[in-house]
């Protein structure tokens, strides 16, 4: 009687462990799919792939402009802010080009190098942009990214999703997938050993 209870408890534990492993594998697959349709296209479609050194030529703050966010956005998402324009000398080609913060900055507003967060108030936005402009004037040279194919003549300060960020995004689903597979393998080994012991 006790043996039957132990066997039943063991089978329940194996079933739960197997469900856990399968659940972890399924969740990791969903995470892979989500990363594949969101982050990977941003990485692969970016043409600013080569790092070089940029030297600041001028950093000017123009009059306030309106931030046209993505197409179809509502009017309340459009807000005015001082327009910072940073021009740099591209070491790789010697050209005078405009610098943008990220790929997204150029897509949202090609007139300005930096787009602030709309949740900030006007004083904070003005102070932040003035600080950024003074930092560019203070630190004349810095690494930047340009398009080696020449499709984009401008440069960006940092990529939205660099290679390290992409690998880090794939790290957690990979660990979950590995853990789930390991649990499934251990359950199957336990079942095989149990059947082999009972047969003997």
Query: Domain residue spans in the chain?
Result: 50-161, 163-199
Rounded Cα–Cα distance for residues 39 and 19 (Å): 29
Q: How far is CA 85 from the centre of its chain?
A: 25
141 against 72, higher pLDDT: 141
Q: Assess whether pLDDT exceeds 80 at residue 60.
A: yes
Q: What is the largest CA-CA distance in the chain?
A: 86
Q: How many CB atoms lie within 10 A of CB 92?
A: 14
Residue 86 confidence (pLDDT): 92
Residue 38 confidence (pLDDT): 87
Residue 10 confidence (pLDDT): 61
198 against 107, higher pLDDT: 107
**CA nearest neighbour of 146 among 53, 50, 55, 54:** 50
Report the DSSP beta bridge partners of residue 146.
50
Rounded Cα–Cα distance for residues 14 and 24 (Å): 15
pLDDT interval class at 74 (50, 70, 90): very low
173-199, pLDDT tens digit by residue?
999 999 999 999 988 888 788 777 767
Average pLDDT over residues 134-144: 88
Residue 9 confidence (pLDDT): 52
Q: What mean pLDDT, rounded, does the chain reach?
A: 82
26-40, pLDDT tens digit by residue?
999 999 999 999 888
Average pLDDT over residues 112-130: 81
Residue 170 confidence (pLDDT): 92
* Pairing of the two strands 96-100 and 141-146: unpaired
Which range among 50-59, 67-76, 91-100 shows the weakest confidence by mean pLDDT?
67-76
Which residues contact residue 164 at a Cβ distance below 8 angstroms, ignoring those fewer than 6 apart?
A: none
Q: Assess whether pLDDT exceeds 70 at residue 73.
A: no
Percent of the chain with pLDDT over 90: 24
**Token pair recorded at residue 138:** 């203070």
Rounded Cα–Cα distance for residues 85 and 110 (Å): 10
Q: What is the dihedral of CA 103, 104, 105, 108, to 10 degrees?
A: 130
Query: What stretch of H or E contains 85?
Result: strand 80-90
Rounded Cα–Cα distance for residues 127 and 164 (Å): 31
Q: Assess whether pLDDT exceeds 50 at residue 76.
A: no
Which range among 9-18, 44-53, 102-111 shows the weakest confidence by mean pLDDT?
9-18
Q: How many CB atoms lie within 10 A of CB 136?
A: 22
Contact 140, 194 (CB under 8 A): no
Residue 98 confidence (pLDDT): 92
Percent of the chain with pLDDT over 70: 84
> Within a 13 Å sphere around the CA of 194, how many CA atoms are in the beta-carbon half?
12
């Amino acid at each position: 009687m006790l043996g039957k209870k132990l066997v039943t408890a063991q089978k329940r534990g194996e079933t739960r462990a197997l469900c856990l492993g399968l659940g972890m594998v399924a969740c990791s697959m969903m995470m892979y799919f989500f990363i594949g349709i969101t982050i990977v296209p941003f990485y692969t479609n970016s043409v600013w792939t080569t790092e070089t050194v940029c030297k600041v030529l001028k950093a000017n703050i123009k009059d306030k402009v309106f931030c046209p966010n993505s197409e179809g956005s509502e009017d309340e998402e459009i807000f005015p802010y001082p327009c910072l324009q940073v021009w740099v000398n591209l070491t790789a080609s010697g050209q005078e080009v405009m610098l943008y913060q990220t790929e997204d900055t150029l897509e949202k507003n090609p007139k300005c190098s930096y787009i602030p967060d709309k949740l900030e108030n006007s004083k904070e936005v003005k102070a932040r942009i003035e600080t950024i402009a003074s930092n560019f004037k203070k630190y004349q040279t810095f690494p930047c990214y340009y398009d080696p194919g020449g499709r984009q003549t401008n440069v960006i300060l940092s990529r939205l999703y660099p290679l390290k960020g992409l690998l880090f995004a794939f790290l957690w689903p990979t660990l979950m997938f590995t853990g789930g597979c390991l649990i499934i393998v251990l359950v199957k080994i336990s079942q095989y050993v149990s059947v082999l012991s009972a047969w003997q």
